[in-house]
Amino acid sequence: MRILTVSDFNIALAAEALKSGLLVAFPTETVYGLGADGFNPTALARVFEVKNRPRFDPLIIHIARVEGLELAADLDLLEKESRQKTGLLCENLWPGPLTLILPKKREVPELATAGLATVAVRLPDHPAAQKLIALSTGAVAAPSANPFGRLSPTRADHVRDQLGDRVDLILDGGRTRVGVESTVLDMTGPSPRILRPGGVPQERIEALIGPVESPPGQGGPVSAPGQLKSHYAPRTPLTLHHPEEMAALTYEAGTGCLFFRGASRDRWLRYIPGAGPFPGIRVLSEEGNTSEAAANLFDILHQLDRLGLSRIRAEEAPLFGLGPAINDRLRKAAAREPSED
Ligand code: AMP
Ligand code: MG
């Protein structure tokens, strides 16, 4: 495996690698993706193998420009109203962390969509990702570049540490900006439905196209594996707590605390005898900004996971902006079975 810094030359090299069937991890604005040529079934099969991802979990096809949508999706198969809404979303929220579920073109291999008649498509808001996709076949399947169910990578070294030589090439573009995966929105039903909360808040989508159905509660049928109960999990057991509960915790050595905002940490510290320093105390956003918190989430979880703590207690994020996407990731991290390793 080679790690190459993002440059025009290295992107061109990586595009050639993709075209010859190799796997290239690359930065997007959400997290690092594990890229394979979207039309090459052998390369797609390797993505599932390398990630240890179940074959029933379909991949997102990444495109380089809005017009590239026709490579993967057939908008003519949508009802008129859904087609209009899809147009509005593409115009206003692409490039960006929004994945649309649309009717699939026949040319997209079954493996990419897990045999579904629909396909997930996204136009990433990252210049290196766009160049790479444009120079390859224009359609790159790219799930997050981590083993299935584990923490998503927001830095090149997260990819290296988790996948090592199982990936052929890593393009290093530094830390990702948004830090949580895309919002997955299904446009194929009678009304648009969020299958996974992510980098675009529900409020922004609704301001454009009107009400959308929100993510179903736990326990329903799995139509997007982002809904699987356990996912995005650190090795250290994690529990999720309401802010009031978090403030009342007693200090236990070996337990990490992940506060949403600086004020919550300060409130907690006032009741803890002794001045610290306490290892394993982290804050997602000092000011309590949900976008900043999302950008820090996986990086801080990776850090906490390396400290050898016996558990992590995490404070719930508020229910606006990227808060629901953060809570979704934390809830799934908390659902991990201790026996999973
Ligand atoms: P990942 O790329 O690992 O962040 O995950 C992609 C997400 O998109 C998963 O939750 C998939 O289940 C979802 N997804 C991809 N294709 C489809 C599809 N055709 N229908 C519903 N969900 C999909
Ligand atoms: Mg993933």
pLDDT score, position 303: 96
Cα of 22 vs centre of ligand 2, distance in Å, is 19
- Beta strands 139-141 and 60-63 are antiparallel
Domains of the chain, by residue range, sit at: 2-209, 238-340
81 C-alpha vs ligand 2 centroid, how far in Å? 30
Mean pLDDT of 248-263: 92
pLDDT of the residue at 252: 85
Instruction: Please name the residue whose Cα sits nearest to atom 12 of ligand 1.
Output: 224
CA pseudo-torsion sign 172, 302, 18, 164: positive
Which fold, 2-209? DHBP synthase (3.90.870)
- Give start and end residues of each alpha helix (H) in the chain: 8-19, 41-51, 69-72, 80-93, 110-113, 127-135, 156-163, 202-209, 243-247, 262-270, 290-305, 323-334
In this structure, which residue's CA is closest to atom 11 in ligand 1? 224
Contacts for 126-130: CB closer than 8 Å, 24+ residues apart: 126/27, 126/28, 126/29, 126/95, 126/173, 126/177, 128/6, 128/11, 128/26, 128/27, 128/171, 128/173, 129/26, 129/27, 129/28, 129/29, 129/33, 129/62, 130/64, 130/65, 130/95
**Mean pLDDT of all residues in 71-91:** 97
- The number of beta carbons lying within 10 Å of the beta carbon of residue 11 is 25
Quickly state the pLDDT bin for 216 (edges 50, 70, 90). Answer: low
Ligand 1: residues within 6 Å at CB?
A: 57-58, 60, 99, 101, 113, 116, 118-120, 143-144, 181, 184, 195-196, 223-226
- 118 with 103: CB under 8 angstroms? yes
* pLDDT above 80 (res 221): no
Kindly tell me if the per-residue pLDDT of 222 is higher than 90: no
Nearest CA to ligand 1 atom 13: 224
Please report the pLDDT score of residue 145 as a whole number: 98
Q: Does domain 238-340 have CATH number 3.40.50?
A: yes
User: In the predicted model, what is the mean pLDDT of the chain?
Assistant: 93
Question: pTM to 2 decimals?
Answer: 0.92
pLDDT category of residue 90 using cuts at 50, 70 and 90: very high
What is the distance in A from the centroid of ligand 1 to the CA of 99? 8
Average pLDDT over residues 23-39: 98
